[in-house]
Structure 1
């Protein structure tokens, strides 16, 4: 209890250092920053106050010693009963005793003893603190219950028009939580009561339509924002720190600021006249602002009413820097200050363990965690000072050629009592220690750790020193074999001992890829397990799969209809950085046998082949080969989905929630659906793309519409910015070769003529092969301007090259793309922009066309090369010339990874634009993985959410036109072609929204 009190005092002191200037400057902050700034600040401080935990693992810079004095009170206790033994005369020598006689104990009672009972002053303070907190909470809870009973006892049902207005406002504000509505003569202005069962109380007087609408909207916004819960947190912080007047002050200021936040939420959509009407309603509802705990009240007292009225017409800034500074200050002070109890002002030794007991406790703390592959130990907290500890960790590793190398860990560490330390073994060392097969290690050229010990010593007053030596190799080795279990397919695969904590699994609908956990850009693939139809499997490999497979294959189990098998890497899957750990795991992984694979006997998923008709976040409608359709529920919103990117590249399995974006526009593909015993979806695989009939030629550069160079007499085709090239028509590959100017090329002939695709680094087709629209033909070569496709069109009627853009092209979704290819002379516009700005460099100028005004988005960096902000510019094209029409600044949302902003350029449209960073993106649980393109989805806050999609290349810009009626933008979802999927809010926390 004393420790808890000391932590509470520490937190109270640290937060008070932030609270004092914050409360003194509260009025000035309210005039300069929006009310949510103080709302968040007070909430963070209140949460810190009610969670008195140590945020810093390092020693505090300042320790406040709290003296602990003893108070002794004499207590009279009965004295113990003492036994006395009487001594009998001895028998003469030679005489036999006829009866053995035992000495008889005689009990005597001594005088009662007086024994002092000692109570420490910190114990009394802790009891007083708890009693104060209990009285505080009891008083407010009882007051609230009595007030609620008094207000509701004589309350009347609402008028029909009031109930209808409340219902319509709940729908408008998207409030699903239920709330009661009553009228009471005991209230002079509307208020809301209750945390669990909220109820809104209206006065019994007649309320005008405008007054009813605004007051109900105000209270319902309190409900939506969960402001009563906010006040409950403040009440709890006040109870815990009832002794601190600054916390009382904070709770009062937070309640006042809460009403300002709600006022700002109400007037956000009001013009000047609407704000004046709202101010008039506030004046009509002027009343005593006091109310019970866990309630909100529309009316205000005179002082608060003045602040609320003035707040309606002030334009304020967001206080994000202020929030960050205050939070950083709280965290810093929490780690710099600590309270420590001492007896009478003297520092105690603190020892509760002897030297030997402390060494034994150290030995018992040594552990190896197979999930994280870490070897740890803890310095016991019961022995002080920590400077007495002498701990030495060393080992020996055998090297090539028979030489050895000494290993030393944590040398020079200043030990801290109670701290846990990790011995920094590499993954390769851990894998080698647990392999224990010297021949296997030697065959892969891997070194083994032959010695690893921990030596510890402590001074002992009696023996001079106590010491221990612990062999750490058995600790690392004594770990049960790791295993992987698939509940869906009912099997368990026992993995080698040295894999524990060093691998991860990419689960697909019917495949499982095992990878090195800390893999780099080389991949780190170790092996994969697959399940397949038994007859089709043997037919595909000529009856001898293990003999015909190009690399190592191991059949793990077979049933009458299904076969499970493993395949291994046939090429290099490691780099110099992870070579040792990869080879150690790869060597033991290749020794798996059918004995390591166990089937549980559970029914396998049912396979259905067909097409995805529609989908949502909870169900999927599927059309089977016989034409029947049925909707199936999802067993898990993150069940695995395998998709094929544009028909040639399989990506890692995606969770269904992320794959939904990629599924859009791909419903024409062939799929295999997997259902469990309850006929719920557990997996989905895109097996083949179905042919599509296009109303024109398919655009060859998926989601890329930028023309790098148009058709001309000197240039017999067009150059298109792209990543890979797809066939624009159904035809036959009639020629491949190399052109001295345009590099590798492919010629595809159809009835109307021939298309020539050039500037290729890799070909996916051969002469004589039939292709369909959308089939991938090759990968593009990297040039000075990036990857550019050179496309030529030779119609059969003339045999001479013509402009390909004279044809009608459509995109993947069968929409015309020719109207997206308009090129604007933007040089003068860029020059005009640079003439008005100092210190900015144009990164990219993107033409954008709308029916009336042409908009140009300019991305800018600060002059020192660091990312600054995106300037959003709109340019008007009048009489064929460019001029600056308007400009706006984007909040500081840029990072080296992603930029995004929203430009509301008229009442009917907004533009969402952004810039994607480098060509490698890191999954949260993995290394950097290269990507070429990303699909971006705009998600709005409407019901249902409105979605728009576009694509962007690595280090490229994107822009989407969003109708105003679906604003604000709620979030952006990025799906990279390397399988990584993330939301904009994952990086920045806040939704990307702008009215």
Structure 2
């Protein structure tokens, strides 16, 4: 139910722009044939029932007219700041904490359903009451009936519609009334009005849908009047207007049916009937063109550009590292590694990304500024400014605004050091490592040529090949002209390694992935429920088996926790859960401090570990603070 309501919210938001467009077009095309307005309202109906999103570069619908999350409290995954006392040192939370997003959405969905049933019940009650009033009607001819208990002519019925006339209808009004009601039947208005009311019942929460239904009913009557009066002379139009005045009915606030002759804007209808002029041909063409334009621009949604949206929604917490490359530039200013403090400014710049997709880029001679970002999930992205003309995001070219691209040069037009050797060489992949392992002890330095690496060590020649956030290959020996002494594939997960020349590399990787996935699945299962709690301790208590499995995992669980925290960005619910499990697995290292996020707690925990090492030394720490010692070893193993 909640998912259906969310879908309707999204559809109604997009349809709202269509309603506004039709309201404007009604005013602009006030002299055009009235039937064209009905076509415009038909487009609104299509927009309201269209479950799929049609994409068009000409769409004028804003990309995100309404986000459900913008009107609801944040979901529990982004844990509230106040958490219960007694669980990891968090301050107490109010016992009557407000319900989180999913619960509120469920309440709203049931409220929506109640509104739908109320309106449909009202329509059903109205039809039943009207049928009782006409139960004693007398057949005049065909589908025309006469009744003493009705005040104005109308059509009742969908599949077998009947025209009902009041018994006291003046003879002079009979012909205009029958012409009008027959026009309704010919236009199938006895189908369209109930369908419009059904859409109103479904979207009753949207004020623009109420406006649309009111104007739609009015335009149905105007279009029907126009169909009749265009065949009448001056005297006939006066007689028709007099019939409208004679049969005018009390205005109803809401009506699903019937199609009543004297209902709805009688004064405006009389004025339109008396002033009717055959519309010029160009007005018909203009109205048809307006319908086509409205369909193209408002029945469709903007084409999504995933790379552009990624840049616009990037957060500093998602970025593990960022590098700058500027070309052409003097050799000592081609490269820069950004510090943690500088990353937010880079992300803020990329959040301003905008521009239209460029079909084919031109060769440019100007300067290019490139950001290379490695995210906490291990993925790597590139964002570049080519000559203040193109914005390039992961290979997609956009015609960026010059006034924005030109500002890049002031802050990022130069680096701080030369470009590292082999910087643009392809990174080694895990698949490459598995192939290299097949060479066994015949592996040579030449087999590793062409892959990017960094150098480390003194005396012994060591190359470190970064594979992703999970693995790195450390190769050591006397130098490229000599033999390889070892080629260790290190796993950051659990601090273990295998020499790819002599060990079973495939089995090693499979085992590491299995252990990692097992721990990740346990944390994911715990984070699912209870959905409305603001305490991470409640999540652990709700999953005692998974909780115990994490504690039984011991070192494996600690390695998973440290890997995640060292990558950074653990500011949500899982960060709080990992903090609690860390304190249980390493009670001797527990800190008595309050922290808004698990990441903030771990950062303080890591600083404490570094201080302990400096004060007591490695031997004491390994014996008395094994968890902190493990974390520092994993931190130092990072390339």
Structure 2 length normalisation: TM-score? Answer: 0.41
RCO higher in structure (CA 8 A, sep ≥6): 2
Query: Is the strand fraction higher in 1 or 2?
Result: 1
Identify the structure with the greater helix proportion: 2
- Higher Rg: 1
User: TM-score when scaled to structure 1?
Assistant: 0.27
